[in-house]
Amino acid sequence: MTAATAMPLVEAKGLTRVFDVSKPWLNRVIEGEPKALLKAVTGISFTIGQRETLALVGESGSGKSTAARMVVGLLRPTAGTVTIDGVDMWATARAAERQKLRRRLQMIFQDPYASLNPRWRVDRIIADPIKAFGLARDSAEIEHRVGELLKLVGLDPADGVKYPHEFSGGQRQRICIARALSSNPEFIVCDEPTSALDVSVQAQILNLMRDLQDRLGLSYLFISHNLAVVRHMATRIGVMYLGRIVELAPSAELFTSPRHPYTRLLMDALPDLGMSGRPRRPIEGEIPNPITPPPGCAFHPRCPWSYEPCSVDLPELVDLGGRMAACHAVAAGRI
Amino acid sequence: MSEPVLSVRNLEVAFPTRRVTLTAVDDVSFDIARGEVLGVVGESGAGKSLTGAAVIGLLEPPGRIVGGEVRLNGRRIDNLPPEEMRKIRGRRIGMVFQDPLTSLNPLYRIGDQIIETIRTHSDISESQARERAIALLQEAGIQGARARIDSYPHEFSGGMRQRVVLALALCAEPDLLIADEPTTALDVSIQAQIIALLKRLCRERGTAVMLITHDMGVIAETADRVAVMYAGRIAEIGPVRDVVQRPHHPYTKGLMGAIPTTVGSATRLVQIPGSMPRLGAIPPGCAFNPRCAQAFARCRLERPEPMPAGQSQAACWLVAEAAAGARA
Amino acid sequence: MNELSPPNRVIPPTPLGGGVGRAAPRSRLAAFLDSDLLHSFLESKLVVLAALVSVLIVGAAILAPLIAPHNPYDLKSLSLLDSNTPPAWEKGGDPRFLLGTDDQGRDIFSTILYGTRSSLMIGIGAVLLSSILGLSLGLWAGYAGGRVDSVIMRIADVQLTFPAILTALLIDGVLLAVFRSYRIEGNTSFVLVLAIGLSTWVQYARTVRGVTLVERNKEYVEAARLIGLHSFKIMFQHILPNVLGPVLVIATINLALAILTEATLSFLGVGLPPTEPSLGTMIQIGNKYLFSGSWWMVAFPGLTLALLALAVNLLGDWLRDALNPKLR
């Protein structure tokens, strides 16, 4: 079974999420203001295969966290679909079916301090999914499984009786990973799992996640704002800007030849640890307000390569042979 | 060589708790010359923020300086009474914090906050101070400063606010600027802008900068010299090119290897086993020895002082061994 | 130690787990004896005194049937000839009645013991009712949001416009009338618990709702929703334990208030009947005789009530302060 013909494990089509952040009706009438709609995510599509890691990279306001929550079922999309192994997550009406689907996906969050209930013991936290999906026969089996999971993530099974505050940030993230693995999922969404950790701890956690992926055949959707981190984890990378995917390419290709202007400037903005003194072009301006985005391409006010169509037409994702970019200049071969 | 702007010698900061006294900063020494940027880098718990707080006299009790001295332009400032220290803070030493949202008072216009600071430290009229403030904001890269000077902090974005905070810190023309994680809360693209701004403003004024951060990338971009801190001690200190590209201390080497990069191979990251010891449980000898692959007997017994290693100094017995070997 | 440097303040680091180089988890008792909570308790002499007084009074009340020299509820044992006897140490006092007797010939000391018992039972009952009710409604309002939240909070707001004592009086009066019309006897305690309990739930609901609003957005709640847990389970198993801290503090302070409210209602004549007097009823009875010289009928119950309320209040205050840093 080749990768090309196998059905992807996760498929997102035209995912959109709009938040109504308008002021209350009375205020709007008195102040004469229109409704304010925040388009957090607009029309994103991607696929993730078995044992694959797709990364979504973007800065604040890019909508990557919102997208992650839609994929995992925590947030209902305003439009678009998410299918896991062919089953549409939001169309399934029966609770039992949805539970079966839920078992196959899990999530690891960004803040290791808020992702563990401070009043619960660690073993109870990890056992929660096991109990919720009825995966063990009795408490002895649960205890055994929790111990195994703790060992799997590099902790001591005896740590199960402790409370989260007795652990460091890196250790807590390991506990979160153990919890995510306890329901034997096939697909894990990781929302900036190492952003709150120190560099050396981050290295440990990223290595652990890669090892687990190899051992257990997991697929990851990896959300991050750090291109360098993503390079070590992802097979393919999607760059997001103001709710849209502006570039989607295999990891190695993205780094050797970024096409979209935003990707290029983002790479340039990364600090130069090699201290090569290469000439860099700083990105001007700020991320625009998602309630009132610029017309045409959302990036055009900050883009050094923008020309006439950029402020008029929204560029679509164009297939460039194994990779995609949403840019008029790239599509026209200008850059 | 002219006298350094900031001179810290054998600084010790301790926190007495009910059971035991914790030493958070243990015998730290460094200098910062005029116009120089010293990066103080370390992971959380290394004591870098506390060092900055100790220098500017903002240690939160029960923490206090229990040893060593801090000199600003030759004059001791660590033992000054609070009233004297207050005059120095803001005028001679400026500070920039991590979160631009909480650094500015949300109830006052930014213009008022800058003007207030200017007038506290120099005797000029309201309108003159206003002109100075507008000029400062323009220098900090805020477009339309004349109009925006009367805006409130929440009307600015994070990056803009950090520019205002920088302007505020430099408005009294201090000799020293302490920046504690100034770009950590900002997006990558904005980070680059703020770093460039910091460098330019300080270079123009000849301000000495103590840049505290956990981000080696920011250090590589901004600093002239860097001090790597571990468990309250300095592990390595030297010119930034030296420390980043040819580190001598095993911790620095491990740290550099653990940082993900966009060049080179994308394989496993170098991982230092274990974690930084908690304050009450620092091992005897070298604080890093339990995690160090090259540790030998002396490392577990005697604490190493920073000793010459190439153009830098590293607190590591391996360096002493290498030097002895070279001499033999 | 926090991985994210806290902005603008350098918080002293705390050794993880409250110990120095602790290997295995200690027993819960050992951990409690060594804890900061116990030590802050022992350091405040006033609080220790308050705790002792509370224990004394509560203990005496519980043991009332065993230690009371007489049974004041046994109407047959009373003799009007014994009425209005001064305390034993006064002229005309009777050694049988340590603190004197009231107008029915009841021994004041025994009545205080039994009366405190009633007051405590009603007080604790009322606090249990209001806390459970307030907790549940607060959790529901905070978690569900939207219309549920609006409705519950509006009801709460409306109730708050009336003084609690008035609400209690209202409920008390209505329920008593209902019970009497159906000829249900002996339910005054139950009615009082309902009345006081229903008049004070709002405080709990408001506080719990606030905490729930914060906790609901935390990732551990998202993790629970992720595995398809029912809202009810999430509210009561996941969020509830985090909300108990403030509830406990409010409950302790409200206990004093509940006891005083019961006393007030009894004083007003709508509380416990004169045949089974509580502290409040005793004060009401004694009030009539105050100016005719029988001061002991008011003084001793009043003193007991004041001491009990004060002691419980102090304990509640200390608990709130002691629990605060942990809640951070």
User: Rounded to whole angstroms, what are the CA distances from C15 to A71, A183, B22, C179, C325?
Assistant: 39, 33, 9, 60, 15
H/E stretch holding A191: strand A187-191
Q: Reply yes or no on whether the pLDDT at C93 is more than 60.
A: yes
What average pLDDT does the segment B234-254 reach? 93
Q: Cα angle at B193 between B190 and B198, to 5 degrees?
A: 125
Please report the pLDDT score of residue C239 as a whole number. 94
pLDDT of residue A196: 87
Which is more confidently placed, C246 or C44? C246
Q: Is there a contact between A255 and B157 if contact means CB atoms under 8 Å apart?
A: no
DSSP structure class, residue A271: -
Domains of chain A: 10-104+191-285 (3.40.50.300), 111-184 (no CATH)
Neighbours of chain A (3+ CB pairs under 8 A): B, C
Q: What is the DSSP letter of A39?
A: E
Q: Of A203, A228, A275, which has the smallest distance from its Cβ to B271's Cβ?
A: A203
Distance CA C169, CA A288 (A): 59
Q: What is the Cα–Cα distance from C141 to A52, expressed in whole angstroms?
A: 42
Q: Supply the DSSP symbol for C107.
A: B
Respond yes or no on whether the N-terminal peptide bond of residue B100 is cis (omega within 30° of 0).
no
Q: Which of A269, A273, A287 sits opposite B259 (nearest CB)?
A: A273
Binding-face residues of A in 38-57 toward C, CB within 8 A = none
Q: Give the model's pLDDT for residue C64.
A: 80
**pLDDT tens digits along C257-268:** 898 888 888 888
Q: Which CA distances in Å does B8 have to B27, B51, B89, C22?
A: 10, 10, 17, 34
Please return the burial class of C317, using the count of CB atoms within 10 Å of its CB with bins 0-12, 13-18 and 19+: middle
Contact at CB, A198 and B43, closer than 8 angstroms: yes
CB nearest A225 (choices: B188, B245, B261)? B188
Tell me whether residues C8 and B99 touch, CB distance under 8 A. Answer: yes
- Asked if the Cβ–Cβ distance from A286 to B241 is below 8 Å, we say no
Cβ distance of A203 and B266 shorter than 8 Å: no
Beta carbons of C220 and A111 less than 8 Å apart: no
Q: How confident is the model at residue C151 (pLDDT cuts 50, 70, 90)?
A: very high
Nearest to A269 among B192, B260, B272 (CB): B192
Strand, helix or coil for residue C18: helix
| β-bridge mates for residue A238, sequence order | A56, A248
Q: What is the mean pLDDT of chain A?
A: 89
Where does residue B310 fall: left (phi above 0), alpha (psi -120 to 50 degrees), or beta otherwise?
Answer: left
Provide the number of CB pairs (under 8 Å) joining chain A to chain C. Answer: 72
Extents of the domains making up chain B: 6-92+174-261+273-327
pLDDT of residue C7: 37
A9 touching chain C per CB within 8 A = no
Alpha carbons within 13 A on the beta-carbon side of C48: 9
* Ranges A27-36, A119-128, B156-165: which has the least confidence: A27-36
DSSP state string for C121-172 = HHHHHHHHHHHHHHHHHHHHHHHH-HHHHHHHHHHHHHHHTS-HHHHHHHHH
Of B53, B59, B279, the CB nearest to C13: B279
Residue in chain B closest to A280 (alpha carbons) equals B192
Please give the pLDDT value at position C245.
82
Angle (deg, nearest 10), helices B126-139 and B110-121 = 120
Residues 6+ apart with CB under 8 A from B293: B250
Task: Show the tokens assigned to B96.
Answer: 């920039």
The partner residue sitting opposite A128, judged by closest CB among C16, C219, C227, is: C227
Helix-then-strand count for chain B, H and E: 13, 12
Query: How confident is the model at residue C328, as a pLDDT?
Result: 35
Overall average pLDDT of the B156-183 stretch: 89
Predicted confidence (pLDDT) at residue A30 exceeds the cutoff of 90:
no
Sign of CA dihedral B114, B120, B123, B126: positive
Among C68, C307, C266, residue whose Cα is nearest residue C176? C266
Query: One-letter amino acid identity for A32?
Result: G
Residue C24, in any domain of the structure: no
Q: What pTM was computed for the model?
A: 0.86
**Residue C98: inside a domain, yes or no?**
no
- Check pLDDT > 90 for residue A187: yes
Is it the case that residue A205 has pLDDT exceeding 80? yes
Mean pLDDT of B219-237: 93
CB contact at 8 A, B241 and B217: no
pLDDT of C21 above 50 = no
Inter-chain Cβ pairs, chain B and chain C, closer than 8 A: 61
B45's tokens? 């718990």
Number of neighbouring beta carbons within 10 Å of residue C58: 17
Pairing of strands B225-230, B37-41: parallel
Q: Which residue in chain A is spatially nearest to B261 when comparing CA positions?
A: A228
For an interface test with C, which of B105, B161, B278, B282 has the most C Cβ atoms less than 10 Å from its Cβ? Answer: B278
Q: pLDDT tens for residues A275-292?
A: 776 666 777 788 888 888
Count of residues for chain C? 328
Q: How far apart are CA C192 and CA C86, in angstroms?
A: 32
Range 19-38 of C in CB contact (< 8 A) with B: 20-21, 36
Residue C27: predicted pLDDT: 61
Strands A105-108 and A187-191: parallel
Task: Give pLDDT tens digits for C212-239.
Answer: 999 999 999 999 999 999 999 999 999 9
Residue bearing the bigger pLDDT, A96 or A214: A214
Best of B160, B214, B269 to disrupt the A interface by mutation (most A CBs within 10 Å)? B269
User: CB of B105 within 8 A of CB of B114?
Assistant: no
What's the average model confidence in pLDDT over A29-58?
Answer: 90
pLDDT in tens, C275-291: 778 888 888 888 888 88
Q: At C225, which CATH number?
A: 1.10.3720.10
Give the best residue of A57, A110, A166, A198 to mutate against chain B (max B CB count within 10 A): A198
Distance between alpha carbon A65 and the CA centroid of its chain, in Å?
6
| DSSP-based three-state secondary structure for B161 | helix
Rg (CA), chain A: 22
A207 contact residues in B (CB cutoff 8 A): 268-269, 271
Chain centroid to CA B141: 23
Distance from CA of C2 to the nearest CA of B (A): 7
Q: Are B62 and B15 in contact (CB under 8 A)?
A: yes
Name the least confident of A75-79, B22-26, B175-179, C324-328.
C324-328
pLDDT at C1 over 70: no
B196 touches chain A (CB under 8 A): yes
Which is more confidently placed, B171 or A207?
A: A207
Does CATH place domain B6-92+174-261+273-327 in 3.40.1550.20?
no
Residue A235: the pLDDT is 92
The whole-angstrom separation of Cα C176 and Cα B146 is 72
pLDDT tens for A44-71 read 999 999 999 999 999 888 999 999 999 9
Average pLDDT over residues B147-156: 89
- Give the residue-averaged pLDDT of C9-30: 44
Joined tokens for residue A51: 């044992």
Note whether A174 contacts C: Cβ–Cβ < 8 A.
no
Distances (CA, A) of A167 to A108, A161, A176: 17, 12, 12
Question: Is-contact A40 A65, C-beta < 8 A?
Answer: no
Q: Which residues of B touch A227 (CB under 8 A)?
A: 188, 262
More confident residue, C323 or B309: B309
Would an 8 Å CB–CB cutoff place B254 in contact with chain A? yes
- Confidence band of B270 (pLDDT split at 50, 70, 90): confident
Judged against a pLDDT cut of 70, whether residue A216 lies above it is answered with yes
The closest alpha carbon to B232, from B31, B24, B1, B32, belongs to: B24
By Cβ distance, the residue of A73, A95, A167 closest to C226 is A73
CA-nearest of A102, A199, A285 to B272 is: A199
- Using the predicted structure, report yes or no on whether residue C11 has a pLDDT greater than 60: no
Kindly state whether residue C237 falls inside one of the protein's structural domains: yes
Asked if the structure places residue C151 within a domain, the reply is: yes
Amino acid at C236: F
Among B97-106, B177-186, C87-96, C202-211, the least confident range: C87-96
Number of structural domains chain C divides into: 1
Sign of the torsion formed by the C-alpha atoms of A79, A189, B259 and A116: positive
Would the pLDDT of A270 be above 70? Answer: yes
C79 vs B299, higher pLDDT: B299
The 8-class DSSP code of residue A282 comes to P
How confident is residue C183, by pLDDT bands cut at 50, 70 and 90? Answer: low
> Which of chain C's residues have a Cβ under 8 Å away from the Cβ of B102?
7-8
pLDDT of residue A2: 44
Tell me the average pLDDT across B43-67. Answer: 89
Cα gap C157→C174, rounded to integer Å: 22
B271/A273 Cβ within 8 A: no
Q: Which residue of C has its CA nearest to A177?
A: C223
Domain of residue C133 covers 113-328
Q: Do the domain assignments include residue C164?
A: yes
C7 touches chain B (CB under 8 A): yes
Please report all neighbours of C, defined by 3+ CB atom pairs within 8 A.
A, B
Residue A158 has what pLDDT? Answer: 92
Give me the mean pLDDT over the B111-124 stretch. Answer: 87
Looking at residue C177, its pLDDT comes to: 83
- Ranges A113-122, C159-168, C217-226, C312-321: which has the least confidence: C312-321
Q: How far is B132 from chain A (nearest CA, A)?
A: 24
Please list the residues that pair with B91 across neighbouring strands. none
Average pLDDT over residues C97-112: 83
Answer whether C8 sits within 8 Å of B62, measured CB to CB: no
Residue C242 domain flag: yes
pLDDT at A207 over 90: yes
Summary mean pLDDT of chain C:
80
- The beta-carbon neighbor of B59 closest among C2, C10, C20 is C10
Interchain CB contact of A157 with C (< 8 Å): no
**Cβ–Cβ of C227/A196 closer than 8 Å?**
no
Q: Taking CB atoms and an 8 Å limit, are B192 and A231 in contact across chains? A: no
| Cα nearest neighbour of A97 on chain C | C228
User: Chain B residue with minimal CA distance to C40?
Assistant: B18
H helix runs in C4-107, sequence order: 28-33, 36-43, 45-62, 64-67
